[in-house]
Amino acid sequence: MVAHPVIGSGIETLLRLEKRYDLRRVAGAAEAAALRDWRPDVALIDGTLLGSGARVHLGAPTLVLSGTETDGRALLRRLPEGRGWLRKDATAAEFVKMIDGVTRPMSPATLGTLGAIVLVLLVLAVILLLIYLLWLAIY
């Protein structure tokens, strides 16, 4: 859902060129609620459509479009299904990366180097805890 029809059309075209997404553009939250039988993998909403402070439930993981990081983070808190935010002037690659980040399951490749290191350390901590508990049970 994007407030300005030309921008919404541009984003839709940009994502259709990827040939990986089933897209539906709606004018507002009420129309999105009417499409509940569609069950989208991700919803993209313009922050200007969020109104005056009420929480908005779209029934899908949601990305919010915003002009600034401060506004993006504030708007994201109003979306229970919020997964991230994008600048309104984001590039095609940034749109695709954010959408894929929400729709693809987490894997070590998507975690990055630091995330993979943290994951390995957590696994080692669990293994060490199990060894310690086994040692306690034996002795």
Kindly state the average pLDDT of the residues 40-62: 77
What's the confidence (pLDDT) of residue 53?
66
In the chain, domain spans: 5-104, 108-139
Residue 33's pLDDT is what? 65
What superfamily in CATH does domain 5-104 come from?
A: Response regulator (3.40.50.2300)
pLDDT tens per residue across span 54-112: 677 777 888 888 888 888 888 888 888 888 888 888 888 888 888 888 887 655 555 56
Nearest to 79 by CA among 29, 7, 4, 34: 29
Per DSSP, the three-state class of 82 is strand
Alpha helices in the chain (DSSP H): 5-16, 29-34, 69-76, 92-103, 108-138
- Residue 79 three-state SS: coil
Q: Is a pLDDT exceeding 60 seen at residue 46?
A: yes
- pLDDT-wise least confident of 26-40, 95-109, 117-131: 26-40
Q: Over pLDDT 90: what percentage of the chain?
A: 1
Spell 102-132 as b/e; 16+ CB within 10 A means b: beeeeeeeeeeeeeeeeeeeeeeeeeeeeee
DSSP state letter for 126:
H
Two tokens at 108?
């070590």
| Mean pLDDT, the chain, whole residue set | 79
